[in-house]
Amino acid sequence: MRDRTIKLILLGPPGAGKGTQAERISEAKGIAHISTGDMLRMNMRIETELGIAAKTYVEKGELVPDEVIIGMVKERISKPDCEDGFLLDGFPRTVAQADALSLITDIDLVINIESSEELILKRICGRRMCPACGKAFHISRHDSGVCDKCGCELYQRTDDNQETVRNRLAVYYRQTEPLIDYYRSLGKLRTLDGDRSIEEVLRDILSLVDAL
Ligand code: AP5
Ligand code: MG
């Protein structure tokens, strides 16, 4: 175990680059990457009870009920690979989830990635995902159609279409954006401009983490 654990939250609208950055931060810092979206998609793919229950919410771009998500995250962060810390991507997404998290553990830093709607739509509509490892690609930079990590054929998420993205954005503004003030008032929030290159955003995130 390291001297100090690192517990981070990545906040931001759909398509801001949370998953893209989380993968890189997790690799650079050796901490677990916990994406509630990836966990739900995996459950949907293998048709667990949780996956079947979540499917209608995810496909409409609505949030899965808090109690389901909170139970799932609680169990996940109790696993041994979270002992050195973890990075939460897509959780919490409501004040009730943030309150529940505060009863389980203390978070060191909340990184809020801002992005413009125009870029969000371009990024999401061109995103392709690996069904096995959850890695995201963009068709403008990756045209082979297969994952460079595991060789699986990439697919497009069922919620990655213009109509659902608009609803996901509305849900974000209504239910998740209030967490910006929530964490700001706790003195834990740092905000970054996500409309830059992946490398520029990553560099800024890593310097915030290194300053902890
Ligand atoms: P989730 O999977 O969490 O989706 P999301 O929050 O809508 O965010 P995305 O995954 O769409 O975007 P991202 O920020 O990760 O962007 P990415 O890095 O992939 O949730 C899906 C659904 O599950 C929810 O709608 C809900 O139903 C349910 N759910 C999940 N968590 C829940 C919770 N806590 N409570 C209740 N329900 C929950 O990047 C997007 C694209 O842009 C990629 O192609 C990438 O290559 C590209 N890109 C990224 N960064 C850059 C950059 N800097 N420059 C250029 N391209 C970039
Ligand atoms: Mg994501």
Look up 45 and say whether it is catalytic.
no
Quote the number of domains for the chain. Answer: 1
Q: Which residues contact 98 (CB under 8 A, 6 or more apart)?
A: 92, 179, 182, 183
Instruction: Evaluate whether residue 25 is within a structural domain.
Output: yes
Look up 93 and say whether it is catalytic.
yes
The DSSP letter of residue 87 is E
Instruction: Evaluate whether residue 88 is within a structural domain.
Output: yes
HSE toward the beta carbon, residue 156, CA cutoff 13 A? 12
Instruction: Evaluate whether residue 78 is within a structural domain.
Output: yes
This prediction has a pTM of 0.96
177-189 residue pLDDT tens: 999 999 999 999 9
Instruction: Evaluate whether residue 159 is within a structural domain.
Output: no
Instruction: Evaluate whether residue 95 is within a structural domain.
Output: yes
Residue 190 belongs to what domain range?
6-115+176-210
Ligand 1, from 33, 35, 40, 89: best to mutate by most atoms within 8 Å of Cβ? 40
Instruction: Evaluate whether residue 80 is within a structural domain.
Output: yes
Q: Which residues contact 173 (CB under 8 A, 6 or more apart)?
A: none
85-126 residue pLDDT tens: 999 999 999 999 999 999 999 999 999 999 999 999 999 999
12 within ligand 1 shell (Cβ under 6 A): yes
Q: What is the domain-level CATH number for residue 26?
A: 3.40.50.300
| Torsion angle of C-alpha atoms 117, 133, 102, 201, degrees rounded to 10 | -40
Instruction: Evaluate whether residue 111 is within a structural domain.
Output: yes
Res. 134 pLDDT band, cuts 50 70 90: confident
Please give the number of the atom of ligand 1 that sits closest to the Cα of 141: 46
Whether residue 46 has pLDDT greater than 80:
yes
Q: Which of 7, 18, 41, 123 is catalytic?
A: 18
User: How many whole angstroms separate alpha carbon 11 and alpha carbon 31?
Assistant: 17
**Residue 58's Cα: distance from chain center in Å?**
14
Instruction: Evaluate whether residue 22 is within a structural domain.
Output: yes
Both tokens assigned to 169: 């954005």
